């Protein structure tokens, strides 16, 4: 399984459009892995998680053929994870292609926003409503949506993705997981865990994870043998407001056996 990190930033991106903080200024100066677009991953070129406003940029930056995507999983409806207006670009009259339908898996609100954006358009998306803790077979994988602790106004999801004998936890956006999610994970064996660290050293951990929550999550997974031997733990979804450059994140997480994702990183498990 090849996991391609297309973007690794939170809502504002790094550097943020209008920000003049030290982190954004240094990211502009240093470039490289300090430049972060909005978070998404692509698995084996055919399963994508989330559809951020940087999807156009990602397709150019990495030479991605978006019509090769068979399944699209949406975690929640915030605009850095679902920019539904861009889904219209695949509708008739905007694009010419001979590809297959893209199957979209999400809870109520992302489906409602997507279908609303597509009203009056001829398209070949296929929408599937998922329910927390109920496995679903997609075209490319078996997925299990898990509850996230993120926005109380909607059902936000994490995903267990089982594909070609490998199981990955896609774990953002979320603060400290709800108890039902911990209970479910207790019986899972992971080949990789993708977590988030939006808020850095902040004490906040209710809707996003901080550094301590990431470290505690890995410790819990190790103690409960949820992580298979040598299974990587990878952290992503960083905010410029955490005021941590890539190099500083590596200094924090590398000694704890956690890999810091950057835009373009490919992890093979």
Phi then psi for residue 144, to 5 deg, are: -130, 110
pLDDT in tens, 214-234: 999 999 999 999 999 999 999
Q: CA end-to-end span of the chain, whole Å?
A: 5
Q: Are 194 and 169 spatial neighbours (Cβ–Cβ below 8 Å)?
A: yes
pLDDT of res. 33: 98
Provide the CA 5 distance to its chain's centre, in angstroms: 9
pLDDT band at 24 (very low <50, low <70, confident <90, very high): very high
Mean pLDDT confidence for 160-173? 98
Report which DSSP code applies to 170. E
For residue 99, the model assigns a pLDDT of 78
Contacts of 176 (CB under 8 A, 6+ apart): 149, 205, 206, 209, 213
The CB-side HSE value for 250 (13 A sphere, CA atoms) comes to 7
Phi, psi values for residue 7, rounded to 5°: -145, 155
Residue in the block written with tokens 């979320």: 174
CB of 53 closer than 8 Å to CB of 83: yes
Q: Indicate whether 98 pLDDT > 90.
A: no
Helix (H) or strand (E) holding 62, with range, is: helix 55-62
CATH value of 2-268 in 3.65.10.10, 3.50.50.60, 3.60.15.10, 3.20.20.70 = 3.60.15.10
CA–CA dist 150, 173 (Å, integer)? 6
Average pLDDT, the chain: 98
Q: Rounded to the nearest 5°, which phi and psi values hold at 217?
A: -65, -45
Per-position DSSP letters for 69-131, written without gaps between them: --EEE----STTTB-GGGGGGGSTTT-----PPEEEEE-HHHHHHHHHHTTT----EEEEE--
Does the bond joining 15 to the residue before it have cis omega, within 30 degrees of 0? Answer: yes
The pLDDT tens digits of the residues spanning 103-128 come to: 999 999 999 999 999 999 999 999 99
pTM above 0.85, yes or no: yes
CA pair distance 226, 250, nearest whole angstrom? 24
Listed by start position, the domains of the chain span: 2-268
The secondary element (H helix, E strand) that includes residue 254 is: none
- Label residue 177 by pLDDT band (50, 70, 90): very high
| Contact assessment for residue 172 and residue 124, using Cβ atoms and an 8 Å cutoff | no
The model's pLDDT over 245-264, given as tens digits with 9 standing for 90+, comes to 999 999 999 999 999 999 99
- Name beta bridge partners: 73: 49, 105
């Amino acid at each position: 399984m090849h996991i391609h990190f297309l973007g690794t930033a939170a809502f504002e991106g790094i550097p943020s459009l209008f920000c003049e903080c030290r982190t954004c200024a240094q990211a502009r100066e240093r470039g490289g892995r300090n430049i972060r677009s909005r978070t998404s991953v692509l698995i084996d070129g055919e399963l994508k998680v989330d559809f951020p406003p940087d999807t156009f940029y990602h397709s150019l930056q990495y030479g991605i053929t978006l019509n090769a995507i068979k399944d699209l999983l949406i975690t929640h409806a915030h605009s850095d994870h679902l920019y539904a207006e861009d889904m219209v670009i695949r509708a008739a009259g905007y694009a010419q292609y001979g590809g297959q339908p893209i199957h979209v898996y999400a809870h109520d609100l992302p489906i409602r926003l997507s279908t609303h954006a597509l009203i009056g358009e001829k398209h070949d998306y296929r929408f599937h409503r998922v329910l927390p803790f109920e496995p679903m077979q997609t075209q490319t994988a078996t997925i299990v949506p898990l509850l996230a602790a993120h926005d109380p106004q909607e059902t936000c999801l994490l995903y267990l993705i089982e594909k070609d004998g490998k199981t990955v936890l896609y774990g953002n956006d979320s603060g400290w997981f709800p108890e039902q999610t911990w209970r479910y994970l207790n019986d899972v064996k992971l080949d990789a865990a993708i977590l988030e660290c939006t808020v850095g050293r902040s004490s906040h951990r209710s809707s996003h994870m901080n550094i301590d929550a990431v470290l505690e999550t890995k410790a819990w997974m190790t103690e409960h043998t949820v992580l298979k031997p040598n299974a990587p733990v990878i952290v992503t979804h960083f905010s410029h407001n955490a005021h941590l450059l890539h190099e500083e994140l590596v200094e924090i997480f590398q000694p704890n056996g956690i890999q810091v994702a950057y835009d373009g990183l490919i992890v093979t498990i």
